[in-house]
Amino acid sequence: MGGVRTALYNYLFAKQDDGKFLIRIEDTDQTRTVSYAENYIFETLEWLGLIPDEGYIAEERKEYKQSNRKELYKQFVNKLLDSGAAYIAFDTPEELENIRELSNKSGKQWQYDSITRQYMRNSLTLPTDEVEKLLSSGTPHVVRLKLDRNEEVRFDDMIRGTVVFNTNNLDDKILFKSDGMPTYHLANVVDDHLMNITHVIRGEEWLPSTPIHVLLYKKLGLEEQMPKFAHLPLLLRPDGNGKLSKRDGEKYGFPVFPLQFTSENNVVVKGYKEIGFLPEAFINMLALLGWNPGTEQEIFSREELIQQFSINRISKSGAKFSYDKALWINHNHIKNSSSEYLFDYITKYFPIENLEKELFFRLIEVDKVRVNLLTEILEDYRSCIDYETNLDKEFYNLQIQKINKPIIENLIKKLKKLEETSLNGIDHFFKNFLNENNIKIGAIGLSLRALLMGKKSGPAISEIIYVLGKELTIKRLEKIYEI
């Protein structure tokens, strides 16, 4: 959800200023790359209608994927090495781990910086001929950024204002790895420069990396073309204690992913799309997690979000996620949508075998004003079409024992004479029936629900009759003759 919110804010900001919204696959860390992730990202953006202006169509995707641009980054690495802004380090992962463990035991946090690099195996401490020998023999190595001691790095964040870091608290970040791939730091700066990126809107977790990026722009002589930065607040758990994670979804019982995916353990994890959220509602919900319009309005269309979105109204503090609020937003979007749109959307994303179109459309008409999820409409549809297979047996058996057969028989006779079968007509008919028989809905409602849908929840009784239609309603009521 956090990643999608970041994409959404970038999209809204770009569209508001007639800018371009780009997508770039940043897969420089091959150890963390998973096969399904790239398609998942594109499928999510397609579902939400957040279509990028660049990097989206098939012909561009290869060009906007960092693992395909390795040779390009080497030019910039060589420029940094030639100017003395970077250096080559030959320390093995085992050597670095041993040093960190020793430091931790003494209560100190070790980092590879302007002081410690003097005692390490790198091109700053080794003789030139030894460095050349190691390189020619293919010894594994990395390229690190050379930070000056006690330098203040300042930059303006569009959300947080002026931010200051001191290089004494930063380490000499790796720019190029032994596997021939750049790190995020170098690749991001190079790509942002080459792709003419003007604004970088990303998560708060990247704030500590930004001084490294600012220094890279300076050391590459690109400071004048450096984009503006905005770091978004974290999405927090419902209790506000810590960043929202997929484990929290399992704990609280709600999705934390937009679309369904299969985990590494082959466990299918449902997303918001599969449980019945409209894309408009999901976007609306995410937009309000960290941003507010400064008004009482909470339900937004995509066009309204584009018009009203402002970086200036994004909060610095984390945003607590509320699933109840998300359901409320989805409910309102469903309620405000046309029945035609809901019919087309549901039948596109939730294929239904042997669909009875007219019945399903009538159900959408009555259900959309009360449900929180589209899947609730599908559950009601299954009960309408084949309630005996889907019925709540405990509820059904209990209500069957309480049925007032004379009243039901009378209702059947009246229904057979009914001519006005519009929703208003049936509602008027049913109210008159209750008044004529001097009974309240509570005395007959549950019995009718048992006979007509087989479950206690669902539309109002007159709405159920309207959805089923006169003939099917009578057919199900006549089951009392078998009891």
Q: Which of 246, 251, 405, 413 is catalytic?
A: 246
- Dist. CA 324–CA 192, nearest whole Å: 39
Contact, 163 vs 210, CB < 8 A? yes
What is the distance of C-alpha 465 from the center of its chain?
Answer: 39
- Dist. CA 429–CA 474, nearest whole Å: 15
Please list, residue by residue across 428-454, b when 16 or more beta carbons sit within 10 angstroms of its beta carbon and e when fewer do.
ebbeebbeebeeeeeebbbbbbbbbbb
Contacts of 6 (CB under 8 A, 6+ apart): 201, 202, 203, 232
Structure token pair of residue 92: 């093995």
User: What's the burial of 299, exposed, middle or buried (CB within 10 Å: 0-12/13-18/19+)?
Assistant: middle
Gyration radius of the chain over CA positions: 31
- Dist. CA 332–CA 213, nearest whole Å: 43
DSSP-based helix, strand, coil % in the chain, nearest 5: 55, 10, 35
**What's phi and psi for 175, nearest 5 deg?**
-105, -35
365 CB neighbour count, 10 Å cutoff: 17
Cα-Cα end-to-end distance for the chain: 52
Helical residues (DSSP H) of 272-322, grouped into ranges: 272-275, 279-287, 302-308
- Dist. CA 14–CA 95, nearest whole Å: 46
Contact, 171 vs 143, CB < 8 A? no
246 included as an active-site residue: yes
- Dist. CA 388–CA 453, nearest whole Å: 8
Give the C-alpha distances (Å, rounded to integers) separating 320 from 70, 291, 317, 363, 381.
Answer: 39, 12, 10, 35, 35
Annotated ligand binding at 335? The verdict is: no
**What's phi and psi for 81, nearest 5 deg?**
-65, -45
Look at residues 378, 334, 374, 376 and name the one whose alpha carbon lies nearest to residue 353.
378
Question: What 3-state DSSP class applies to 449?
Answer: helix
Q: Which positions make up the binding site?
A: 246
Q: Which residues are catalytic?
A: 246
Q: Which positions make up the binding site for ATP?
A: 246
